Amino acid sequence: MSICIADLFCGIGGVSEAVRHWHAPTNSNGGPAVSHAADSGPNVVTAIDIDQSVTALYAQNHGISPRCCTIESLRNVATNETGPIDIWWMSPPCQPYTARGFRRGSADPRSQALARLIQLLPRELPTLLGLENVPAFRGSQHHHELKSVLTGCGYVIREYLICPTDWGIPMRRKRFYLLASRDPTSISELTPAPVTYALNDFVDETAWNDESLIVDRQFWSRYESAISIVDVDDPNAITSCFTSAYGKSPVRSGSYLRCRARNQIRRFSADEIAALMGFRQGFFSSCDLRQRSRYRLIGNSLPVHVIRELLKSLLPDDCIDPVHCFPAAVVR
């Protein structure tokens, strides 16, 4: 059975990457050995984003080209080309709800896209809906408006605060998630996997040869007390949350990696961060985006392993793969 998904605010395709793992047998690295056929299980049939820089990367990795448009200008999510949509997945901009964005909420122009989708909901009535945002979204005006519309349309709602560490991934990235279904019995319980992954499993040794990642001693001395530094050989190391400002803002944008044997500290590569986020090995390797753009895009993306588990909790039993599928470690 095919489940059609609209990936709204799609970015580089965290939802499509989660769908890619569906029912795929795992290889020796824990990643999918083959891609799943598009005519069974969940399938992203339309993706929308305002950022034109994601188009080529999304199409290359996921096989469809996103519609580049402002969501606030949409007349419909479903079109004649897509047919009926079963799931809306929404990851609207988080800045209106963060301290860095001055928590302007519905007064922030960047929140108007979500407001438009809330308007369209009663007309299109997708069977299922998922939303991801920062924890501060909870309690905002748009949070209350969304819940009010969903409740009025007969949806049952479940809300979560989830961090990848709940599934043993050594990266902090706590986010608010809302799931909604028109079937009051359809949302199953989430069960975190009793597995813990070591940070070193996601480290690419060849990245130590990339001079653009190495931070010099002057930087190290200046910011050491203000930045998160994790040791490559620490089995309990957990990174802080990587944001779109990583590589631009020296503090509070993500962790730095230390190798005592090399006496070096460096930034994580975009591919290492992508691996921690659950994307396939070498996700950025074949694109020509600059390092800064790669950091921006992965910092704005979704933790694939969490999204996959949330989708599993939404879907009918005959679509559920009982095997947890987590991101592949970097192959050295």
**The residue to which tokens 């519905």 are assigned:** 106
Mean of the pLDDT values across residues 4-16? 96
| Averaged pLDDT, 316-327 | 54
Burial of 150 (0-12, 13-18, 19+ CB in 10 A): buried
Give the pair of three-digit tokens for residue 186. Answer: 């359809």
**Residue 194: which pLDDT band, with cuts at 50, 70 and 90?**
confident
Structure tokens at 150: 């969903």
pLDDT at res. 319: 65
Mean of the pLDDT values across residues 178-185? 91
**Backbone angles phi and psi of 12, in degrees to 5:** -85, 0
Task: Write down the pLDDT at residue 10.
Answer: 96
The encoded tokens of residue 159 equal: 């809300």
Query: 330 pLDDT exceeds 80?
Result: no
Q: What is the pLDDT of residue 317?
A: 65
Q: In whole angstroms, how far apart are CA 88 and each of 35, 42, 327?
A: 22, 12, 24
Query: So what's the pLDDT on residue 332?
Result: 32
On the question of pLDDT at 324 being above 70, the answer is no
For residue 24, the model assigns a pLDDT of: 54
pLDDT in tens, 89-131: 999 999 888 877 667 777 888 899 999 999 999 999 999 999 9
Mean pLDDT score, 186-202: 88
3-state secondary structure of 204: coil
Could you tell me the end-to-end alpha-carbon distance of the chain, in angstroms, rounded to an integer?
38
CA distances from 294 to 112, 253, 286 (A): 26, 14, 12
Q: What is the set of domains in the chain, with CATH numbers?
A: 2-189+302-319 (3.40.50.150)
> pLDDT of 32-71, one tens digit each?
433 444 456 899 999 999 998 898 899 999 999 999 999 9
